[in-house]
Copies of this chain bind each other. A is one copy, B any other.
Amino acid sequence: MPSPLNPNELRQLGFAGGLPSGRPVYRHLVSAIERGIVAGTLQSGRRLPAERQLAASLRVSRATIVAAYRELEARGLVRGYVGRGTYVSGPPDASGAPFAWRGKVAAAALRAASSATRDLVRVSTDPQLLSLAAGIPALDRFPFDAFRQALEKVVKKSASAVWGLGSSEGQPRLREAIAHRFGGSPENILVLAGAQQGLEVLARCLIDPGDTIVMDRPGYLGAIQTFRAAGARVIGWDILRHDLDELEDHLVRYRPKLMFTVTTFNNPTGWTMPLRLRRDVLALASRLRVPIIEDNTYGELHLTPTAPAPTLHSLDTQSIVIGLNSFSKMLSPGLRLGWIAAAPPIIEQLALMEPHSLAHNGGQLAVAELLENGAFDEHLVTLRAEHRRRRDALAAALHRHIPDGLLRWSTPDGGLYFWCRLGGRLQSARVSACALAEGVAFTPGEAFYVDHAGERELRICYSSVPAGRSDEAARRLGRAILRARRETSAPPQLVAIV
């Protein structure tokens, strides 16, 4: 089997990527490969470089490579096999060829296939990296002993509930405990395997392809992906400007199916909606009959002594708000436990659609135990103190290691994130690549926007790194920023093929 084509060979085919010529770069690439095939230099069965690798070598976006390969495929010159690569077409060898799965993937799945969350999980589970990317609380403060005792107790005492089929809405004991601790009534609560699963079932329950959703801009990237995957058009409401007229304009103009918002310690900005605006938003949504999904994942993670304003869900008298919440940030993402609080018809519809609860029974009962015996609230006190310490330590370290004017952020009163803006002409995607090379990860800003903005912004999770390591994290980030600045200000010819 011939070796895959490498980028240098492409140059020999006459492809000079990135040079200005009035034609899009991908057309140059298509021409070069076509010439090679016609000339016989590229024989059938020859494998083309992987998209990602070629994009990196040529310093062009992956979309450019994808466009070129698609064009070649459409002309019948190459054939892509997912997971195996793209090959110069030749006489089909039906017997041994792997099945061409790519053509089978649903349009919505391809449309929604952003790798932002996937990358985030990947860098956060990579032991080589200091990750400030995913939103992870101070896990080393997790009440291990209390949880282990609770789990042992429920496994011993409620074996049939732990091992049997759980009821669709979740364990009654946990629904009771959640209602008691967070308000509402148990029959309005549906337990989930995390808030993200909640978004997915809500999207399936409520969104028809072509529906419009209005949500925070910038806003939770998991929500953007989920709504898009459901075929929705997503419109952003500028959460930092929080102009009620703009929201009304959106609701009237786009007649959205629903609105999604993180009202307290918004992800990624950390912004909290003031009480007065909460009432106004609720009245507006009620008047225009636009239901709201309110994600309150960060509501308990305040770093000031006073709790934030009441949620839209608690202010709502018409059941127009669906509350979404999760134990991932309050306890641990490994629990995979969250819940929806909603009007009975929604709970019933969701239970109908998702009759097998995906939340682990034992975990549900153990968390109920922690809520009941007070360990949960004790833990929150510890967690808030630790997060305050980490926030302040990381802020100080960033001030020490990053030259003035290259990174700005405001210090939030809660949640897990610094929402930052790069100075100079720095782009967060470039800085992110340099940061990974330096052994530190964050989340570039684009993932939080529905409209390709945010290229100079980035999100840093301050809670995932112990205070003792924040200096190292900031040092690496500082090096990455300086490296990105050098590359950014380098003469343009270096951007051509190396």
Task: Tell me the smallest distance from the CB of A432 to a CB of chain B, in Å.
Answer: 17
A64 at interface (Cβ–Cβ under 8 A)? no
Which of A105, A108, A336, A361 neighbours the largest number of chain B CB atoms within 10 Å of its CB?
A336
A320 at interface (Cβ–Cβ under 8 A)? yes
Partner of A207, one of B106, B160, B334: B106
Task: Tell me the smallest distance from the CB of A278 to a CB of chain B, in Å.
Answer: 17
| Cβ-defined contact, A98 with B165, below 8 A | no
| Cβ-defined contact, B343 with A98, below 8 A | yes
A475 at interface (Cβ–Cβ under 8 A)? no
Task: Tell me the smallest distance from the CB of A170 to a CB of chain B, in Å.
Answer: 11
| Cβ-defined contact, A334 with B352, below 8 A | no
Name the B residues within 8 Å of A352 (CB-CB): 113-115, 118
Q: Once the chains are docked, how many angstroms separate the CA of A129 from the CA of B60?
A: 64
Q: Once the chains are docked, how many angstroms separate the CA of A291 from the CA of B319?
A: 44
| Cβ-defined contact, B320 with A165, below 8 A | no
Partner of A83, one of B286, B343, B357: B343
Q: Contacts A159-B144, A165-B333, A363-B360: A355 and B208 contacting too (C-beta < 8 A)?
A: no
Q: Contacts A121-B355, A205-B109, A318-B97: A162 and B334 contacting too (C-beta < 8 A)?
A: yes
A488 at interface (Cβ–Cβ under 8 A)? no
Partner of A165, one of B104, B334, B348: B334
Which of A81, A151, A355 neighbours the largest number of chain B CB atoms within 10 Å of its CB?
A355
A112 at interface (Cβ–Cβ under 8 A)? yes
| Cβ-defined contact, A122 with B167, below 8 A | yes
* Copies of this chain, whole number: 2
* Chain B residue with the shortest CB-CB distance to A349: B105
Q: Once the chains are docked, how many angstroms separate the CA of A106 from the CA of B208?
A: 5
Q: Once the chains are docked, how many angstroms separate the CA of A97 from the CA of B343?
A: 13
Name the B residues within 8 Å of A148 (CB-CB): 152, 155-156
A193 at interface (Cβ–Cβ under 8 A)? yes
Task: Tell me the smallest distance from the CB of A308 to a CB of chain B, in Å.
Answer: 24
Name the B residues within 8 Å of A355 (CB-CB): 117-118, 120-121
A491 at interface (Cβ–Cβ under 8 A)? no
Partner of A160, one of B120, B139, B164: B139
Contact with B along A358-385 (1 / 0, CB 8 A): 1111110000000000000000000000
Partner of A358, one of B136, B162, B197: B197
Name the B residues within 8 Å of A100 (CB-CB): 289
Q: Once the chains are docked, how many angstroms separate the CA of A134 from the CA of B156?
A: 24
Instruction: Indicate the size class of the contact surface on chain A.
Output: 35 or more
A168 at interface (Cβ–Cβ under 8 A)? yes
A489 at interface (Cβ–Cβ under 8 A)? no
| Cβ-defined contact, A334 with B349, below 8 A | no
A96 at interface (Cβ–Cβ under 8 A)? yes
Name the B residues within 8 Å of A162 (CB-CB): 334
Task: Tell me the smallest distance from the CB of A330 to a CB of chain B, in Å.
Answer: 13
| Cβ-defined contact, B164 with A125, below 8 A | yes
Name the B residues within 8 Å of A189 (CB-CB): none
| Cβ-defined contact, A134 with B165, below 8 A | yes
| Cβ-defined contact, B152 with A102, below 8 A | no
| Cβ-defined contact, B117 with A164, below 8 A | no
* Chain B residue with the shortest CB-CB distance to A258: B104
Which of A106, A151, A161 neighbours the largest number of chain B CB atoms within 10 Å of its CB?
A106
- Chain A 270-303 interface residues, beta-carbon cutoff 8 Å to B: 286, 289, 291
* Chain B residue with the shortest CB-CB distance to A211: B106
- Chain A 144-175 interface residues, beta-carbon cutoff 8 Å to B: 144, 148, 151-152, 155-156, 159-168
Q: Once the chains are docked, how many angstroms separate the CA of A109 from the CA of B352?
A: 9
Name the B residues within 8 Å of A101 (CB-CB): 291, 319, 343, 345-346, 349
Name the B residues within 8 Å of A493 (CB-CB): none
A204 at interface (Cβ–Cβ under 8 A)? yes
| Cβ-defined contact, A335 with B351, below 8 A | no
Q: Contacts A101-B343, A115-B352, A193-B358: A121 and B208 contacting too (C-beta < 8 A)?
A: no
In the A-B complex, the 4 residue pairs with the closest CB atoms? A82-B345, A83-B345, A83-B344, A163-B332
Q: Pick 7 A–B contacts, CB within 8 A, sort by A.
A: A82-B345, A106-B211, A113-B353, A139-B163, A142-B159, A194-B356, A358-B358
- Residues of chain A touching chain B, judged by Cβ–Cβ distance below 8 Å, are 81-84, 96-102, 104-109, 112-115, 117-118, 120-122, 124-125, 134, 136, 139, 142, 144, 148, 151-152, 155-156, 159-168, 193-194, 196-197, 204-209, 211, 222, 229, 257-258, 286, 289, 291, 317-320, 332-336, 343-346, 348-349, 351-353, 355-363
